[in-house]
């Protein structure tokens, strides 16, 4: 068999094993994305096995997203400096190992710690995928790659609860909830071997500086925000929770200042400072956090309502998420194929209105609900309509936010948006979990769901207001993935530039 690593004489030819790289990237990153939602249906099993309470469950689910989001931008910079292949292999190995640790966790405290570690490993792994694809594909092939890569990754988050429910319901070898982590082991090891064999070596740029101080500021600020949101309801919102949230605001403000100073001193900031001076982009960051916080939080509440309130099994609760998933897929297809190009940012305004309509339908579906006669079919119309609205927004949101930035800022902007999306999801888990459990503790699960729908409605209205400040047209599809035109040194031509 031919040596998978190209020689200098072969450098001008397309890399022979490049399609194997695409398969490896897809498998590895779906593992990463699946683990953000696969444990949503594990609540009752974790309670029986480890004595996990509501706060513990919120940390198991939201803690992963927290460290993932806090480390994504740093992970991208490490790939620039040390090489994307190296960081991909390190991240994949760490992710697989931390999955094993999660599976053998003896108590809820250790499981939370291992989930935080798993999210950190994911932050090292996830940013490398698009960069590796861009290094090994070009021209029309690259467009085809992204046409496959994006939708497949989108499915990763959607099928998480369904797969988790299947594994827990099957109770294979008596493993219960532990199987949702153990499934990563054979996949991770096989993917690691294939990646080490077929992904070509390419040195990083040691001139790239890693802003450790900025990364630490982001991590601390995120923790100061999510910690009180998770613990506040349980502890009765003491003074320390409010001080932590105030400290988080100060931390993020200081981070913005520190990034400007780092850029002025030529130290290579984590985030391009020019981004923070663009009102449409900075406001859009708030929109990302609001939208995904509401979306992920509501999906969690739906699962908790089915399992804890209606006594569904893990498998049935996973299937109960299917109408939402199918609706999201339909909305995304309609938005991406027809609406976004024709009506511009109006698609981002129609989407939340459709979601609100779905929430209203779901509200009335829950009214006068008889738990003894309840079927998931009772709430299919509301969840499906809400999913359609969500899909319309998801398919178009990033392109409109990236349209607010300059070409040379796309890579940094994409990393920041993805990080805010993950942290927003973690905040959503904390807020919606607290709202639901506040009523669920009294046995009033329907009111808990109603309160969550009120919170989602408020977030959607705020998001709708923000959309009027976004650009009227989105950025072309290929540029959403970090490919932007850049002037050649002589100014006579253009070349493609990747900034991940």
Give the per-residue SS3 of 170-211: HCHHHCHHHHHHHCHHHHHHHHHHHHHHHCCCCCCCCCCCCC
Is pLDDT at 220 greater than 90 in this prediction?
Answer: yes
Asked whether residue 425 falls in the same domain as residue 287, the answer is yes
207, part of any domain: no
Q: What is the pLDDT of residue 483?
A: 52
8: confidence class by pLDDT, cuts 50, 70, 90: very low
Q: Which range is least confidently modeled, 17-26, 63-72, 84-93, 190-199?
A: 17-26
161: confidence class by pLDDT, cuts 50, 70, 90: confident
Is pLDDT at 490 greater than 60 in this prediction?
Answer: no
And the tokens for 318? 């996973």
Mean pLDDT within 232-261: 90
178, part of any domain: yes
More confident residue, 100 or 7: 100
**Percentage above 70 pLDDT, the chain:** 89
Buried b (16+ CB within 10 A) or exposed e, 178-196: bbbbbbbeebbeebbebbe
Asked whether residue 20 falls in the same domain as residue 101, the answer is yes
**Percentage above 90 pLDDT, the chain:** 35
Q: What is the pLDDT of residue 156?
A: 65
Q: Distance between the two ends of the chain, CA-based, in angstroms?
A: 33
End residue of a domain, out of 162, 180, 202:
202
Q: Which range is least confidently modeled, 79-93, 177-191, 328-342?
A: 328-342
Average pLDDT, the chain: 83
Q: What is the pLDDT of residue 116?
A: 95
Beta bridge partners of residue 496, listed in sequence order: 485
Is pLDDT at 228 greater than 70 in this prediction?
Answer: yes
SS3 268: coil
CA 53, CA 233: separation in Å to the nearest integer? 13
Asked whether residue 187 falls in the same domain as residue 228, the answer is no
441, part of any domain: yes
More confident residue, 63 or 137: 63
498: confidence class by pLDDT, cuts 50, 70, 90: very low
Q: What is the pLDDT of residue 368?
A: 76
CA 40, CA 327: separation in Å to the nearest integer? 19
Tell me how far CA of residue 356 lies from CA of 122, 149, 275, 306, in angstroms. 33, 30, 31, 21
Is pLDDT at 428 greater than 80 in this prediction?
Answer: yes
Asked whether residue 325 falls in the same domain as residue 472, the answer is yes
Asked whether residue 265 falls in the same domain as residue 283, the answer is no
**Cβ-based neighbours of 494, under 8 Å, separated by 6 or more:** 485, 486, 487, 488
pTM of the model: 0.83
Q: What is the pLDDT of residue 111?
A: 94
Rounded to the nearest 10 degrees, how much is the dihedral formed by the CA atoms of 285, 289, 109, 307? -160
Total tally of structural domains belonging to the chain: 3
Asked whether residue 337 falls in the same domain as residue 392, the answer is yes
419, part of any domain: yes
User: How deeply is 263 buried, as exposed, middle or buried, from its count of CB atoms within 10 A (0-12, 13-18, 19+)?
Assistant: middle
Alpha helices in 272-321 (DSSP H): 279-304, 314-320
158, part of any domain: yes
End residue of a domain, out of 182, 202, 222:
202
pLDDT by residue (tens digit) across 293-346?
A: 999 999 999 999 998 888 888 888 888 888 888 888 888 888 776 777 788 889
Is pLDDT at 244 greater than 90 in this prediction?
Answer: yes
229, part of any domain: yes
pLDDT by residue (tens digit) across 381-415?
A: 999 999 999 988 987 888 888 888 887 777 778 78
Asked whether residue 252 falls in the same domain as residue 298, the answer is no
- If we measure between CA atoms, which residue out of 209, 197, 232, 313 comes closest to residue 55? 232
CA 346, CA 333: separation in Å to the nearest integer? 16
478: confidence class by pLDDT, cuts 50, 70, 90: low
Q: What is the pLDDT of residue 5?
A: 46
238: confidence class by pLDDT, cuts 50, 70, 90: very high
Asked whether residue 112 falls in the same domain as residue 252, the answer is no
Q: What is the pLDDT of residue 92?
A: 94
Q: What is the pLDDT of residue 150?
A: 60
Buried b (16+ CB within 10 A) or exposed e, 96-109: bbbbbbbbebeebe
More confident residue, 364 or 126: 364
Asked whether residue 248 falls in the same domain as residue 339, the answer is no
Asked whether residue 140 falls in the same domain as residue 158, the answer is yes
pLDDT by residue (tens digit) across 108-154?
A: 999 999 999 999 999 999 888 777 887 778 777 777 777 676 666 66
CA 113, CA 100: separation in Å to the nearest integer? 13
End residue of a domain, out of 252, 269, 286:
269
2, part of any domain: no
Q: What is the pLDDT of residue 190?
A: 93
pLDDT by residue (tens digit) across 434-466?
A: 999 888 888 889 999 999 999 999 999 999 999
489: confidence class by pLDDT, cuts 50, 70, 90: very low
Asked whether residue 56 falls in the same domain as residue 183, the answer is yes
Mean pLDDT within 26-53: 82
Q: What is the pLDDT of residue 149?
A: 65
Cβ(53)–Cβ(150) below 8 Å: no
Asked whether residue 259 falls in the same domain as residue 310, the answer is no
And the tokens for 493? 């031509």
More confident residue, 142 or 252: 252
Mean pLDDT within 167-188: 88
249: confidence class by pLDDT, cuts 50, 70, 90: very high
5, part of any domain: no
The CATH number that applies at residue 432 is 1.20.1250.20
CA 75, CA 84: separation in Å to the nearest integer? 10
Domain with 442, as residue range(s), is 273-485
Cβ(142)–Cβ(149) below 8 Å: no
């Amino acid at each position: 068999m031919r040596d998978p690593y190209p020689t200098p004489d072969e450098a001008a030819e397309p890399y022979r094993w490049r399609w194997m790289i695409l398969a490896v990237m897809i498998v590895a990153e779906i593992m990463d994305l699946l683990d953000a939602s696969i444990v949503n249906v594990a609540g009752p099993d974790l309670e029986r096995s480890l004595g996990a309470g509501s706060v513990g469950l919120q940390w198991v689910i939201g803690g992963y997203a927290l460290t993932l989001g806090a480390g994504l931008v740093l992970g991208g910079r490490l790939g620039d400096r040390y090489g994307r292949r190296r960081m991909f292999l390190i991240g994949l190995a760490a992710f697989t190992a931390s999955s094993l640790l999660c599976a053998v966790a003896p108590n809820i405290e250790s499981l939370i710690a291992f989930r935080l570690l798993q999210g950190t490993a994911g932050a090292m792994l996830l940013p490398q995928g698009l960069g590796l694809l861009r290094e090994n594909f070009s021209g029309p092939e690259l467009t085809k790659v992204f046409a496959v890569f994006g939708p497949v990754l989108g499915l990763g988050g959607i099928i998480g609860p369904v797969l988790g429910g299947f594994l827990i319901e099957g109770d294979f070898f008596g493993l219960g909830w532990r199987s949702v982590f153990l499934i990563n082991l054979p996949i991770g090891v096989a993917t690691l071997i294939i990646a080490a064999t077929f992904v070509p070596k390419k040195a990083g740029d040691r001139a790239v500086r890693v802003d450790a101080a900025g990364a630490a500021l982001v991590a601390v600020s995120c923790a100061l925000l999510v910690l009180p949101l998770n613990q506040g309801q349980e502890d009765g919102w003491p003074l320390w929770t409010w001080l932590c949230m105030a400290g988080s605001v100060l931390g993020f403000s200081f981070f913005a200042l520190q990034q400007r100073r780092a850029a002025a001193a030529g130290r290579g900031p984590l985030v391009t400072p020019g981004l923070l001076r663009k009102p449409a982009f900075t406001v859009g960051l708030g929109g990302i956090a609001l939208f995904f916080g509401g979306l992920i939080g509501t999906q969690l509440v739906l699962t908790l309502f089915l399992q804890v309130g209606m006594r569904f099994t893990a498998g049935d609760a996973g299937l109960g998420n299917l109408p939402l998933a199918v609706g999201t897929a339909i909305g995304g297809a309609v938005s991406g194929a027809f609406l976004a190009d024709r009506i511009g940012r109006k698609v981002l305004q129609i989407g939340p209105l459709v979601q609100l309509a779905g929430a209203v339908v779901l509200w009335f579906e829950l009214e006068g609900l008889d738990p003894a006669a309840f079927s998931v079919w009772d709430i299919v119309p509301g969840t499906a309509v809400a999913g359609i609205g969500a899909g319309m927004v998801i398919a178009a949101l990033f392109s409109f936010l990236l349209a607010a930035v300059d070409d040379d800022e796309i890579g940094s902007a994409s990393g920041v948006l993805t990080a805010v999306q993950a942290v927003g999801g973690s905040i959503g888990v904390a807020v919606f979990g607290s709202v639901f459990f506040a009523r669920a503790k009294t046995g009033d699960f329907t009111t808990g769901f109603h309160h969550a729908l009120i919170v989602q409605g408020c977030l959607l209205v705020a998001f709708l207001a923000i959309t009027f400040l976004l650009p009227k047209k989105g950025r072309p599809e290929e540029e959403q993935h970090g490919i932007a035109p850049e002037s050649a040194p002589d100014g006579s031509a253009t070349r493609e530039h990747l900034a991940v």
